[in-house]
Amino acid sequence: MRTIKGPSLHLAQFSDTVAPFNDLPSIAAWASDTGFKALQLPAWDQRLFDVATAADSQGYCDDIVGMLAGHGLVLSELTTHIFGQLVAVHPAYDAMCDSFAPAELHGKPQARTEWAVERLLMSAKASRRLGLTEMGTFSGSFAWPYLFPFPQRPAGLIETAFDELAKRWLPVLNACDEQGVNLCYEIHPSEDLHDGVSFEMFYDRVGQHQRCNMLYDPSHLVLQQLNYLDFIDIYKERIRMFHVKDAEFNPSGRQGIYGGYQSWENRAGRFRSLGDGQVDFKAIFSKLTQYDYAGWAALEWECCLKHQENGAREGVDFINAHIIPVTDKIFDDFAGAPINQQQMKQLLGIG
């Protein structure tokens, strides 16, 4: 067993156009003062990071690592969720996903996907230059609009969707392998990889690729009413990243999992700041520690009620309180006694 590293902070929900959240040195100083030990950096946010330069320039990457070290911080991982989302986009979401790509690619789905894949390959190279071994992403989705099987899905529709998804991702997984980077798909509603079964369908289609892994975020499993503790037992070998994010699910006679098209604050299932939801983090940290999870505990703030800076300050203490410093002793060693082989047989009645 080993002690989980943390707390890290996922910056996607914190970067902004106003100080101190508008550039990496400023946000690093704030995060360090708040008590974080690492940053999880969104590779798509050019206010903080130039992924194209990082892919080609060791000096640029060294400068980032050095600047963070000056604040007592390290990088925990790069995330590439926006790029991953564009690998597979159902036509129903084309207009909404266009905003994730440069303006000249709007209305050009194939060119947009090619751009996204290129950025994923850059991110893998940048991860290696930064000394990172894990990279988070989304899978994108072809099949999500057909989640509920009515009207009846044509035979083979889902299989065709997952065949194409695997075809598009396999070159990226191979490129990650060349760079020594694990690609960790966040198991997330609206993505084709949204639960354990859908991950397995994809995992088999990419030949159980050694770089195909998971980003575990229990909040998304709560909103699906999935057993998030059993999930760790089943997929412990594949979990390589961990978002510490809380959630609650309070169904009523009026709405449940689907949420009735309501805003986040009015949904039965909603994300909350750490400690304000229903997730049993004591059990999660215990299981991950027991299973020798080697990565970071990264706070991801998404709350429809509490201000993000309050969520960050409280989250540092919350994660620190849940990290288990592992012991190097067995608690009942004091009562042990040396037994030779003959005595062992006598104890068993086989001497």
Domain architecture of the chain: domains with CATH: 5-348 (3.20.20.150)
> What's the rounded Cα separation, in Å, for the pair 134 and 285?
19
pLDDT band at 143 (very low <50, low <70, confident <90, very high): very high
- Nearest Cα neighbor of 180 from 124, 136, 237, 139 is 124
Say which residue the tokens 């360090």 belong to.
Answer: 32
Mean pLDDT, residues 108-124: 98
- 250 token code pair: 């309070």
- 226 token code pair: 């999935």
Give per-residue pLDDT as tens, 267-279.
999 999 999 999 9
Mean pLDDT, residues 56-84: 98
**DSSP helix/strand/coil, 212:** strand
Burial pattern 156-165, b for ≥16 Cβ within 10 A else e, equals: eebeebbeeb
Q: Among 8-22, 41-55, 219-233, 330-344, where is mean pLDDT lowest?
A: 330-344
Residue pair 215/183 in contact (Cβ under 8 Å)? The answer is no
Q: Is the dihedral of CA 154, 156, 158, 160 positive or negative?
A: negative
Mean pLDDT, residues 257-284: 97
Residues whose CB is less than 8 angstroms from the CB of residue 243 and which lie 6 or more positions away in sequence, other chains included:
10, 186, 215, 216, 217, 219, 298, 299, 300
Say which residue the tokens 């990226």 belong to.
Answer: 172
pLDDT for residue 335 is more than 70: no
**DSSP helix/strand/coil, 307:** coil
pLDDT for residue 334 is more than 80: no
Mean pLDDT, residues 69-98: 98
Mean pLDDT, residues 154-183: 98
> What's the rounded Cα separation, in Å, for the pair 220 and 66?
35
Give per-residue pLDDT as tens, 97-115.
999 999 999 999 999 999 9
pLDDT for residue 331 is more than 90: no
- 143 token code pair: 């099949």
Question: Following CA atoms 85, 86, 88, 92 in sequence, which dihedral angle do they give, to the nearest 10 degrees?
Answer: 90
Say which residue the tokens 């947009």 belong to.
Answer: 112
pLDDT for residue 6 is more than 70: yes
Distances from the Cα of 71 to the Cαs of 77, 131, 298, in angstroms? 17, 18, 18
pLDDT band at 58 (very low <50, low <70, confident <90, very high): very high
pLDDT for residue 309 is more than 70: yes
pLDDT for residue 329 is more than 90: no
> What's the rounded Cα separation, in Å, for the pair 211 and 209?
5
Distances from the Cα of 80 to the Cαs of 84, 92, 124, 193, 331, in angstroms? 6, 22, 10, 15, 43
pLDDT for residue 333 is more than 80: no
Residue pair 77/49 in contact (Cβ under 8 Å)? The answer is no
Q: What is the DSSP letter of 101?
A: S
Strand partners, 135: 78, 183
Q: Specify the pLDDT at position 298.
A: 98
Proportion of the chain above pLDDT 90, given as a percent: 93
pLDDT band at 145 (very low <50, low <70, confident <90, very high): very high
Q: Among 81-85, 179-183, 227-231, 329-333, where is mean pLDDT lowest?
A: 329-333
Give per-residue pLDDT as tens, 184-235.
999 999 999 999 999 999 999 999 999 999 999 999 999 999 999 999 999 9
Q: Specify the pLDDT at position 330.
A: 73
Q: Specify the pLDDT at position 351.
A: 67
pLDDT band at 175 (very low <50, low <70, confident <90, very high): very high
Q: Are strands 269-272 and 246-249 parallel, antiparallel or unpaired?
A: antiparallel
